Structure 1
Amino acid sequence: MTLLQFGDEGARRIERVYATPDVVAQRREVLELLRPVPGEEVLDVGSGPGFLLRSIAEAVGPAGFVRGLDPSAAMNAMARARCADVDWVGVDEGGAEALPYAACSFDAVVSTQVYEYVADVAGALVEVRRVLRPGGRVVVLDTDWDSVIWHAADRELHRRVMAAWEEHLVDPRLPRTLPGLLERAGFRVTDRRLIPVFNPEYAEDTYSAGTIDTIGAFVTGRQGLGEDDVARWAADLRSRGTDYLFSLNRYCFVASATGEPP
């Protein structure tokens, strides 16, 4: 399994995508489900370039504290810069499998687009339960990549590109099993939300347009896809104009901790 590696260039690509109105709207909905309040201590697992981290910090205020955790040094540099003027934010380097925090450290944990990359999701969610205080809550969002609809002229080439793209994930269909995984880790699922991304025409400032380059960079050389194949695939999508159509479903689960932490 080969996962995406976020060096400086890759991190900048992701930052641009995360700044699109599509992802801004998603982040707003996740924040509403998390419901951070002044004085709370919150952990963002997979904090990336720090957009959500910053929003949570503004909600909890200086009486609270927010920590971001990400394995990418490039992402963490962006997050630290984005939150540089907020004293109650800390950013740490590390992964979801072993959270570097003491038991019962946080009132809430949030994680968006992370667990589909994790081999031991069950163990990672037990880690979330461990660091949460009694009655704490978690908000988890991941994508089911079978939900993607993308209008492409060459359907076979598009199928090959998307099949190669799935190689960057451990589980491209994780949302189907997340509720059960959460319950077995010591949570009670209290809310489930569908958060779609819908781009009915091609525009540069959209999630799908920004993702074309990320996908192209990853799939080149995989499953027999050469640079010419990937360039042809990308050029076709960008030429669709008003015939362009992209949609994808993301699934968000809210859960509360039950019993005593492990």
Structure 2
Amino acid sequence: MSLLEFGDDAARRIERVYATRDVVAQREQVLELLAPAPGEDVLDIGSGPGFLLRAIAEAVGPNGTARGLEPSPAMNALAQARCGDLAWVGIDEGSAEALPYGAAAVDAVVSTQVYEYVADVPGALVEVRRVLRPGGRVLLLDTDWDSVVWHAADRELHRRVMAAWEEHLVDPRLPRTLPGLLERAGFRVVERRLIPLFNPVHDEDTYSAGTIGTIAAFVAGRQGLTEDDVARWAADLRSRGTDYLFSLNRYCFVALAVDDPP
């Protein structure tokens, strides 16, 4: 699904980013829109370190189920540690392209920051439609990477870094086409929400500060970027002080399964 590799160290780094204040706030909005109810069966595609999966499990309770699907064993180990005390949580290894579940198995599906990594999004959305019960709902959240605003002194170096970073994605502008893709896969879009991540200062407890290291580790050697180039880019961002500014738009769509799947 992704060119990013999540070994133990990378998974821990992502876990720290997901625990930052702005990502916690994003997760609260996702839960509000998904509205998992007691007794429901909910699938989290790309469940990562299990923060959202845990919250879903607590909402559906022991009369429901919360199932996470994730291709990274390192991520699954973190999710298991986070959710292992809840008997109604299941965590499976797999990808969005071929869901290892039967037809009409769940009431709701949620997936955050996943489908921009998927090569066959139309096929993957048909898979979501297949596993949903009649009238079931799906919530998808992805980023448009053209929306990034990041104050850097060397604008050309920053442009090259961000261009190299986009190489880890299949479609860095997926939200622009997601509503149409959902409709053609057998859904009716009922909610659209913009969720911005805004970091007006450099603070380690933010998404952008935590992501600098992830980007730096990926882009070195790409687009002609040397390790010195990447180190200079990261040091510049971290030195912005009161001039630091980062913002990024994430787009959330909620859709209902129509009566007749395609």
Q: TM-score range by the shorter chain?
A: over 0.9
Q: TM-score, normalised by structure 1?
A: 0.99
Aligned twin of 1:216: 216
Q: Could you tell me which amino acid in structure 2 is paired with residue 115 of structure 1? A: Y
Shift of 1:245: 0.3
Aligned twin of 2:98: 98
2:251 corresponds to 1:260: no
Aligned twin of 1:167: 167
Kept in 2: contact 1:2–1:167 (CA 8 A): no
Aligned twin of 2:157: 157
Number of residue pairs the alignment of both structures matches: 262
Aligned twin of 1:20: 20
Aligned twin of 1:54: 54
Q: Structure 1 runs of 4+ off > 3 angstroms?
A: none
- Identity value in percent: 82
Kept in 1: contact 2:182–2:189 (CA 8 A): yes
Aligned twin of 2:227: 227
- What is the CA deviation profile of residues 161-184 of structure 1, one whole-angstrom value per residue up to 9, with x for unaligned ones? 000000000000000000000000
Mapped to 2, the partners of 1:243 and 1:190 lie a distance apart of 39
Aligned twin of 2:138: 138
Aligned twin of 1:186: 186
**1:14-93 pair list within 5 angstroms:** 14-93=14-93
Q: TM-score, normalised by structure 2?
A: 0.99
Shift of 1:52: 0.1
Mapped to 2, the partners of 1:79 and 1:2 lie a distance apart of 19
Kept in 1: contact 2:2–2:118 (CA 8 A): no
Mapped to 2, the partners of 1:68 and 1:156 lie a distance apart of 40
Unpaired runs of 5+ in structure 2?
A: none
- What is the CA deviation profile of residues 30-89 of structure 1, one whole-angstrom value per residue up to 9, with x for unaligned ones? 000000000000000000000000000000000000100000000000001100100000
2:246 corresponds to 1:243: no
Kept in 2: contact 1:132–1:261 (CA 8 A): no
Unpaired runs of 5+ in structure 1?
A: none
Kept in 2: contact 1:134–1:261 (CA 8 A): no
Distance 1:6 1:157, change over 3 A: same
Q: Could you tell me which amino acid in structure 2 is paired with residue 196 of structure 1? A: P
Aligned twin of 2:195: 195
Shift of 1:259: 1.4
